[in-house]
Amino acid sequence: MDLKLTPNAIKVLERRYLRKDPEGKLIETPEQLFTRVASAIASAEKEYGVNEEGVKKLQDEFFTMMANLEFLPNSPCLMNAGKELGQLSACFTLPIEDSMESIFETLKITSLIHKSGGGTGFNFSRLRPKNAVVKTTGGVASGPISFMRVYDAATEAVKQGGTRRGANMGILRVDHPDIMEFITCKENNNHITNFNISVAITDEFMRRLAKGEDYDLIDPHTHKPVQRINSKEVFNLIVKQAHKNGEPGIIFIDRINQYNPTPRLGMIESTNPCGEQPLLPYESCDLGSINLDQMCKRSGSRCEIDWQRLKEVTALAVIFLDNLIDVNKFPLPEIEKATKATRKIGLGVMGWASMLIRLNIPYNSEEAVALAEKTMAFILDEANKKSLELGKTKGVFPAFKGSIYDRKDGTTRMRNATLTTIAPTGTISIIAGPCSSGIEPLFALSYHRNVMDNDKLVEVEPLFEQIARERGFYSTQLMEKIAQNASIKEIKEIPEDVRRVFVTSHDISPEWHVRMQAAFQKYVHNATSKTVNFPHEATVEDVRKSYILAFDANCKGITIYRDRSREEQVLNVGKPKEKQEARSIHEIKKEIAPRPRPEVIIGTTTKVSTGCGNLYVTINIDEDGKPFELFTQMGKAGGCAASQLEATGRLVSLAFRANIEVKSIIEQLRNIRCPSPSWEKGQRIFSCADAIARVIERRLVNVQPAPIAESVTIPMKHSHDDQLQSTDLDEQVNIVGMCPDCGGALRHEEGCVKCHGCGYSKC
């Protein structure tokens, strides 16, 4: 089959999805990928007595649907289906109780999920607030934000095999005592970078806000009020921070639970990282999206929706996602149990804006909002029919009793507790491209997309180029002009009717963004991922109005983003000013490029005594008198020690050659501590890195000082025969280093090193 994949789609598939051998060589084609996935998902039918012929027929239907780019599942399914790992879910939520055991057990589970390609959501509201008394130890609690930082650091360490980076959602209830700290915890864009954060807003809070009243902050441990705070003060801070950098978002937690299909199992407290999938503790969800851009057909000179094919694809997609649950290899038994109890799936859409363009309908129009409701209502209705059919043939979900579907007449014996979700489709929409992402409008007609470690892909809207050529206004100069603008509404060379349809996210007022989200949400069981875009000049009041509108329009949450409110964006549109900035950055990069090595270079070698042995540090200087490179050698060190020293030397050398300020290098290495510190001429050497910093300081900063460390004379008393008094000698000389736990003196006693301050010992 001839797959119609764009160059960008092929690049993404090769980078992240196709199989590779141990040397990194591709051993799978896109066609083989779709065959692998279709075969794995169709194999679930065997459990229900379907013969080989029936399984093969369904496999072929799955393959055709994916190969035609009519439907794609979430990334973990494309990556892992038919492989040994076999973890196919994108979304997980995990519980965090108010105990160290729960916090770190959940952290362990989180790391396993991230390693397998999933994202995780948490509600930290059960943790007692900062400085609350911990009766068991007599100490004080560090609060939920401190543990978010721990989770963030762990996520940073797990890179998910280079395919998907860890992603988290952190949620805190608006009535938690630490809510103000939580709202501002991402004020610095470099803090808690692996989390999206959202405030769980209650209906009670919104009622208080409407009247400007105070409300209680509740200690989750004692369940008692600890403070009263003004609702407007809290809401103003949320809005201010969101205006600043897009966080926190908001979820309306009571509204989410209003639509909880299995209330007997418990309350929903958290969502997946992008907020579109509310889940019970330990639940996971499997997502997939129908490409609406492929659901159009020509009728004479016009396009129209192919409702028959949309019906067929919807039914197939429901079977696909339901089967996925059966063949999935879950990270934990608890997750498998919770997921199979409800069998939640999340069927959504992508290519919405692309379809509107084909239908000649502006995104920001009443016609578009009405069509959104009609389209999603159709998909939900067909999904309900198929789930009801599967419920009859394969059985209802195990937690059916007591669910919202449990009716005496038996007319709603559903296979799945939820069916629809509007998820972000950033990567799979590239594979399905040209296709707009989710239900978002076009970001621009020409832009760069940053993916996977700042790799840049050039994206151009092909529908616009097609129209421009057909209508005769295409030119290279015009395309260059468009590439420098986020909008074409002021470009008069383009016909007015074309400008009317090809609207971009910044042409659309926030009100239309919210209304479009609300239109889809009416027919979505779970929630809807949608970013409300604001121009850079939008005010705080503009953001406030959108938050209130989202609540009034029955959305389950809202996320906003004001253009250029963060240093880095996934999508970037070039503008004249920004292009000038890009040139200056390029010039800076040229300035800091490492200098080439001369043929001959001279230097000095300094010996330092460390806790690991004698370290020899060589610093070479170039002909201009600038430090050029640093080498290290430690006695007979090998293995990890040697490799770490070599790595440190290489990085310092790179910094030297790139003209990084020497004092900055020293600051980064100075006082790094290891478990085996030492003394060098009366001064502590905390680690090999610290020793290197001291050598650099002596040779390059303090050119004329005393030895590496100033000599410190140990006071000792002498007798007439010059023999030392043993008590004073023991007090001074038995110090062999610094305690790694408390920083106190380590003494050598009984064959061990001990700290009298905290009790640390090592034998």
* Residue count (the chain): 763
How far is 517 from 600, CA to CA, in rounded Å? 66
From 274, 296, 555, 674, active-site residue: 274
Of 41, 107, 109, nearest in space to 78 by CA = 41
User: Does 80 participate in catalysis according to the annotation?
Assistant: no
168 neighbors 122 (Cβ within 8 angstroms):
yes
Place of tokens 């948490």: 122
b/e burial code for range 288-305 (CB count within 10 A of at least 16 → b): bbbbbbbbbeeeeeeeeb
How far is 142 from 133, CA to CA, in rounded Å? 10
Of 224, 223, 222, 204, nearest in space to 214 by CA = 204
Q: What letter does residue 47 receive in the DSSP assignment?
A: G
Which residues are registered as beta bridge partners of 608?
615
Of 597, 602, 604, nearest in space to 695 by CA = 604
Three-state DSSP class for residue 663: helix
From 45, 70, 247, 276, active-site residue: 276
How far is 96 from 218, CA to CA, in rounded Å? 17
Of 469, 471, 502, 466, nearest in space to 487 by CA = 502
Axis crossing angle, helix 307-327 with helix 30-42, rounded to the nearest 10: 70
405 neighbors 446 (Cβ within 8 angstroms):
no
User: Does 272 participate in catalysis according to the annotation?
Assistant: yes
From 196, 272, 323, 384, active-site residue: 272
Q: What's the token pair of residue 183?
A: 């709202």
Of 79, 47, 717, nearest in space to 390 by CA = 47
The DSSP element (H or E) to which 498 belongs, if any, is: helix 496-501
Greatest pairwise CA separation for the chain in angstroms: 116
How far is 430 from 408, CA to CA, in rounded Å? 46
201 neighbors 174 (Cβ within 8 angstroms):
yes
How distant, in Å, are the alpha carbons of 456, 569, 572, 577 from that of 584?
19, 18, 17, 11
Residue type at 164 in one-letter notation = R
Q: What's the token pair of residue 120?
A: 């995780």
Question: Which residues, including other chains, have CB under 8 Å from residue 178's CB and lie 6 or more apart?
Answer: 129, 130, 143, 144, 145, 172
Which residues are registered as beta bridge partners of 571?
449
How distant, in Å, are the alpha carbons of 185, 361, 510, 558 from that of 532?
22, 20, 6, 8
Three-state DSSP class for residue 614: strand
Backbone angles phi, psi at 395, to 5 degrees: 105, 150
Of 195, 191, 187, 209, nearest in space to 124 by CA = 195
Q: What's the token pair of residue 277?
A: 């999938």
737 neighbors 679 (Cβ within 8 angstroms):
yes
The order of strands in the sheet holding 627-634 is 602-610, 613-621, 627-634
How distant, in Å, are the alpha carbons of 70, 74, 279, 659, 728 from that of 525?
22, 18, 12, 57, 77
| CA 39-44-45 angle, 5° bins | 100
Q: Catalogue the active-site residues.
A: 272, 274, 276
